[in-house]
Amino acid sequence: MSALENQIRGAIEVKELAFAKLNLTLDVGDKREDGFHDITSVMQGIALYDNVTVRVVPLEEWEMYGVDTAVNAVTELRSYHSTQNRGLPRGRRNTAVKAADAFFAFTGITGFRAEISLEKHIPVGAGMAGGSADAAAVLRALNRAFNTNLSFEFLRAIGATVGSDVPFCIEGGTALAMGRGEILQQLPDFPNCEIVIVKPDFSVSTAELFAAIDRVKIRSRPDTKGILDAINEGNLNLAVRYLYNVFEDALPTPQAAEVAAIREKLLDCGALGAVMTGTGSAVFGLFSEGSAEAADKLRSTYKSVFVC
């Protein structure tokens, strides 16, 4: 019996919170030789999260048959539940499962089963890194379960093989993301504020929007230096002036119109600034106060409204 099997004779269950992210700014450069685009984005973790549970048990000898000998471990997505799971990838297409497989491959740990349960609250197809947040939570959970003591830097390297937003979701906070999202510079905390998020009924294909942005004329670019200076000063009223996402220029006309309408409604309800996050379709507004009252007004029109 291995040292790890001696350490984990029975099941170990680890719970992690998977925090969503917002893109305060998002700029997209040219397509790279590897097929990805370079991005520059100020990302912010927020207090909207999924609950992720990872249960680790040693494999019985009979379970070893048919298991990939290169990994010699099994990962399962056992369950998920929430009103936010429409369109959630199942089985091995789920990024949480991919993250566990990557953890076992990178660490060389064998002979275990990882059973993953997701309680979803982050809306799917919203541009809020719900899948990436779950994947990051799985990596942190397995790191705890096996006492591997891997640094955030190492976990980010594993996460980068799973998805572009996973490295940011390992630690969250406020960060400048570059490259395809895996190059991170941690920033001072964003000034304290309240957030209202509206998820319209439609979702946007990330792949299709990246393809579209190569064909459209970008009207403007985010002022990254401007928002970084505002964050360093802790100036919320200045920072909100720099919210900008170039993907809004690449949306199909009907979706672009709805995103613009949501943004205007958020501003009418008292938001200091509002913008779409990621490749959409969620739109968020930043408030100094009054977010609960704004959310109540917006719920008369939209089904998916979140306050955090």
Residue 156 tokens read as: 């980010």
Structure tokens at 287: 């408030």
Backbone angles phi, psi at 164, to 5 degrees: -70, -30
What are the φ and ψ backbone dihedral angles of 33, each rounded to 5 degrees? -65, -25
Rounded CA-CA distance 259/254 in Å is: 9
C-alpha closest to that of 77 among 31, 111, 118, 110: 118
**Mean predicted confidence (pLDDT) in 123-128:** 94
Could you please state the CATH topology (level 3) that the domain comprising 3-186 is classified under. Ribosomal Protein S5; domain 2 (3.30.230)
Q: Is the pLDDT of residue 150 over 90?
A: yes
Cβ contact 230:238 at 8 Å? yes
Q: Taking the domains of the chain in order of start, what are their residue ranges?
A: 3-186, 194-307
Cα–Cα distance measured from residue 307 to residue 195, given in angstroms and rounded to the nearest whole number: 6
- Between 35-49, 91-105, 242-256, the lowest mean confidence (pLDDT) is in 91-105
Give tens-digit pLDDT for 226-267: 999 999 999 999 999 999 999 999 999 999 999 999 999 999
pLDDT exceeds 80 at position 92:
no
Mean pLDDT of 37-50: 96
3-state per-residue secondary structure call for 178-239: ECCCCEEEECCCCCCCEEEEEECCCCCCHHHHHHHHCCCCCCCCCCHHHHHHHHHHCCHHHH
Does position 20 have pLDDT exceeding 70, yes or no? Answer: yes
Catalytic residues: 21, 165
Q: What is the rounded average pLDDT for all residues in the chain? A: 89
Q: What percent of the chain has pLDDT over 90?
A: 74
Calpha distance 146→107 (Å, rounded): 10
Could you please state the CATH topology (level 3) that the domain comprising 194-307 is classified under: Alpha-Beta Plaits (3.30.70)
pLDDT range class, residue 70, cuts 50, 70, 90: very low
Q: Does the pLDDT at position 64 exceed 60?
A: no
pLDDT band at residue 86, thresholds of 50, 70 and 90?
A: low
- Measured CA to CA, the distance from residue 273 to residue 216 in angstroms comes to 25
Structure tokens at 138: 């799985």
Q: For the chain, what percent of residues have pLDDT higher than 70?
A: 86
Q: How far apart are CA 144 and CA 167, in angstroms?
A: 17
Mean pLDDT computed over 52-70: 65
Please, what sign has the CA dihedral across residues 102, 143, 55, 129?
negative
Distances (CA, A) of 54 to 100, 134, 137, 148, 280: 9, 11, 9, 15, 29
- 194-233 as b/e: b if 16+ CB within 10 A: bbbbbbbeebbeeeebbebbeeeeeeeebebeebbebbee
Q: How many CB atoms lie within 10 A of CB 59?
A: 16
Instruction: State how far the Cα of 92 lies from the Cα of 106, in Å rounded to an integer.
Output: 18
Mean pLDDT on 139-157: 97
Output the DSSP codes for 30-89.
EEPTTS-EEEEEEEEEEEEEEEEEEEEEEPPGGGGTTS-TTT-EEEEEEEEESTT-TT--
pLDDT at 69: 35
Same topology between domain 3-186 and domain 194-307: no
Rounded CA-CA distance 172/133 in Å is 9
